[in-house]
Amino acid sequence: MPTLGDVTAVLEQFAPTALAEDWDNVGLLVGDPQWPARRVMTCLTITQSSVSEAVRGEADLIVAHHPLPFHPLKSITPATTAGRMLLELISAKVGVYSPHTAFDSAPAGINQHLAIGLNLQQIEPLVPATGTVEADIGAGRMGLVGGDSTLIELVERVKGFLGIDSVKVVGTDDQPITRVAIACGSGGSFLSTAIDQRCDCLVTGETTFHTCLEAEARGVGLVLPGHFASERFALLSLADYLQEQISGIEVWASRDESDPLRTV
């Protein structure tokens, strides 16, 4: 019977925790590596909805992109949302693993997957990792759109790949786009790097108002599909990957998870 340790070993090989940012909290965060892992659920974020689904579905492990806990906790009690969810998971003997920024930067991670999904060419890390000889490891991605393209055409690629109806955009529809930077989630901090790398546009989930103003002032486009949409798709493929790699296990992507933001 597979164990939590077996699953974490596969995840470590797929997205080594050494790739995570220094500020991050990744790896096995809740549970014992010796616990059985017959059923595994992937999700973007642990919420009360996904906790209830995992417990109801008798999951042994949640692989959540965003860590829980993320910040150090002084107590674990029902008085806080994080404490209440952790108590429920521990009581049901459900482990928690988070790959987070290691998954973002991995050779087959979220940013790479997004760049491929947008049909970019000559894809490479936006910020190559130091201390490694592997050229495909690093934060973010950048690539060429291929031929003549405009910002609105890139927007349509983003909406088509992510299966969404709308995005937020900085820039004009007919703005020429040749080189595109990719940073899933909250990637506005990569704007200056994208500019240094001569990118015409940054595709990221969300960013601040002032980053939007800076992009506009510098003549760089921004395409913002939302934090959820920019990352959730990869948790579906991660569930398929784990199912293929580990025998004797059932893996599913959360069916109850949803974007907390809606357009009205």
pLDDT tens digits, one per residue of 117-131: 999 999 999 998 665
Mean of the per-residue pLDDT values for the chain?
A: 93
For 24, 94, 112, 183, 221, the CA distances from 194, given in Å and listed in that order, are 22, 40, 16, 10, 11
* Domain co-membership, 142 together with 175: yes
For 112, 136, 163, the CA distances from 117, given in Å and listed in that order, are 8, 17, 11
What pLDDT is recorded for position 21? 87
* Domain co-membership, 66 together with 178: no
* Domain co-membership, 49 together with 139: no
* Domain co-membership, 127 together with 208: yes
Mean pLDDT, rounded, for 4-24: 93
Tell me how many domains the chain contains: 2
Measured in whole angstroms, how far is the alpha carbon of residue 217 from the centre of its chain? 28
Mean pLDDT, rounded, for 154-181: 96
Q: Tell the residue number behind the tokens 């947008």, with chain if given.
A: 118
Tell me the pLDDT band of 65, cut-offs 50, 70 and 90.
Answer: very high
Tell me the pLDDT band of 66, cut-offs 50, 70 and 90.
Answer: very high
* Domain co-membership, 99 together with 189: no
Whether the per-residue pLDDT at 15 is higher than 80: the answer is: yes
Q: Specify if 51 maps to a domain.
A: yes
Instruction: Output the domain CATH number for residue 199.
Output: 3.40.1390.30
pLDDT digits (tens, 9 = 90+) for 40-60: 999 999 999 999 999 999 999
Cα 60 from Cα 231, distance rounded (Å): 23
Task: For residue 236, count other CB atoms closer than 10 A to its CB.
Answer: 13
First-to-last CA distance in the chain? 48
Domain span at residue 52?
A: 4-103
Q: Which of 24-38, 70-84, 209-223 has the lowest mean pLDDT?
A: 70-84
Q: Specify if 134 maps to a domain.
A: yes
* Domain co-membership, 124 together with 92: no
Q: Specify if 223 maps to a domain.
A: yes
H or E element in which residue 88 lies: helix 81-91
pTM of the model: 0.91
Cα 1 from Cα 85, distance rounded (Å): 27
Mean pLDDT, rounded, for 28-44: 96
* Domain co-membership, 148 together with 176: yes
What pLDDT is recorded for position 133? 47
Percent of the chain's residues with pLDDT above 70: 97
Q: Specify if 246 maps to a domain.
A: no
Residue type, 238: L
What is the DSSP track for 236-259?
Answer: HHHHHHHHHHSTT-EEEE-SS---
Whether the per-residue pLDDT at 233 is higher than 90: the answer is: yes
Q: Are strands 221-224 and 201-206 parallel, antiparallel or unpaired?
A: parallel
SS3 102: helix
Q: Specify if 239 maps to a domain.
A: no
* Domain co-membership, 37 together with 150: no
* Domain co-membership, 92 together with 121: no
Q: Specify if 248 maps to a domain.
A: no
